[in-house]
Amino acid sequence: MSIQRKFGWEVARARRSAGMTQQTLARLAKTRQANISRLERGIQNPSVEFLERVAKSLGKKIRIKID
């Protein structure tokens, strides 16, 4: 599984857990619902800035781990 798909899956899980729609998350992250959809499906190569806005909108932080 690609890193984009893994991240997208985590975003979708966190969004559902928070009881948010894609539209609500998009509004909070100052983007369009289509961008959230592409992110969750793992077909977008987002910037770190975009990922940070999405994470903050979900009340989460991004952690990067290199093994």
Q: What is the pLDDT of residues 17-36, one digit of tens each?
A: 999 999 999 999 999 999 99
The pLDDT assigned to 65 comes to 82
When pLDDT is cut at 50, 70 and 90, the band that residue 9 belongs to is very high
Distance CA 20, CA 45 (A): 22
Its sign, for the CA torsion 51, 63, 67, 4, is: negative
**Domains detected in the chain:** 3-57 (1.10.260.40)
The pLDDT assigned to 53 comes to 96
